[in-house]
Amino acid sequence: MNISFSKQTPPAPMVNLSAGLINHIPRHRCKDKAVVVLGATGTGKSRLSIDLATRFDAEVINSDKMQVYKGLEIITNKVSEEECGGVPHHLLGFVDPEADFGARDFVLHASAAADDITSRGRMPIIAGGSNSFIKALVVDDLHFRSRYDCCFLWVDVAASVLDPFVSRRVDQMVDSGLVAEARGFFSPAGDYGIGIRRAIGVPELDEYFRSERGGASAATTARLLEKGIEQIKSNTRILTGRQLQNIMRLAEHLDRRMHRLDGERPVAGLSARIVGEFLREDHMDFVSAIAAAGPNRPAAGQLISTSAAGR
């Protein structure tokens, strides 16, 4: 919030805010604004974040723990350059596939990205399905909490709708080259506990790749491939259920600041209205403070200029 005081000659403030009025102004409203888009895998978080970014002059910070790694574009379902629509994305495909990138690393990089974005007069939108990363940033990290006021948008889709959708999406990923992509990350040692090899879609095909290398019959390899694909679907459904539980636990820390959106309906318009109101809160709080000040408020004609921190 910026308050500008115009002066005359001899110097005299055009706005003479009394101590009583100043005490009514909400001092906590000096934070930068950020939007956090949450939801299970397949609910449309990326699409929504890009839509909001184009409307509100924002940039996206990825919070998916597998999409931070280089490689496996199909399996991790990274947004393509075309899908980004010119919206800058941060923390996407920048970590070595063999590295161990955890919540602390995410907090460090996400905070730096958010600070960079706001320093250029734009708004960060944090989007992804790794809720442990989001909690580490918006709940556990003092720097981020002290600097940013967040609006949380939860895109929710019922399991009865989401489960068939993610199964169809796995089939589409297979058609797009999932198996060949996963083959490049096959581990003969069976080490799938670190880096990008943890991604759903790689460990599930281990037995199939071993059968290929071992010279198994075509019938055997076909059966193992089908088995691996079904495991990918099953593990993805398990993941979406776990993500839902984590989002509900996260909501307990957010003091009712999370907006649940019905992802089975169009959410772009409603989300834009919610974010628009969120960005206007500073201005509304300032006006309310002046109105509540009663007889101490400035007389008509005195100049008060305010601007919201969210731009």
Delimit the CATH 1.10.287.890 region(s) of the chain.
162-238
- Residue range 19-159+256-296, CATH number: 3.40.50.300
Q: pLDDT band at 29, cuts 50/70/90?
A: low
Q: Each residue of 124-154: pLDDT tens digit?
A: 999 999 999 999 999 999 999 999 999 999 9
Q: Tell me what pLDDT residue 301 has.
A: 28
Q: How far is CA 241 from CA 6, 159, 215, 249, 293, in A?
A: 57, 8, 37, 13, 49
- Residue range 162-238, CATH number: 1.10.287.890
DSSP label at 95?
Answer: B
Please enumerate in sequence order all residues whose Cβ is within 8 A of that of 143, keeping only pairs 6 or more positions apart, or say none.
111
Q: In this model, does residue 251 exceed pLDDT 70?
A: yes
| Integer Rg of the chain from CA | 24
Q: Tell me what pLDDT residue 283 has.
A: 53
Q: pLDDT band at 17, cuts 50/70/90?
A: very low
Q: What CA–CA distance (Å, rounded) separates 125 from 62?
A: 9
Q: What CA–CA distance (Å, rounded) separates 279 from 52?
A: 13
Choose the weakest-confidence range: 77-91, 158-172, 193-207, 294-308.
294-308
Delimit the CATH 3.40.50.300 region(s) of the chain.
19-159+256-296
Choose the weakest-confidence range: 5-19, 66-80, 90-104.
5-19
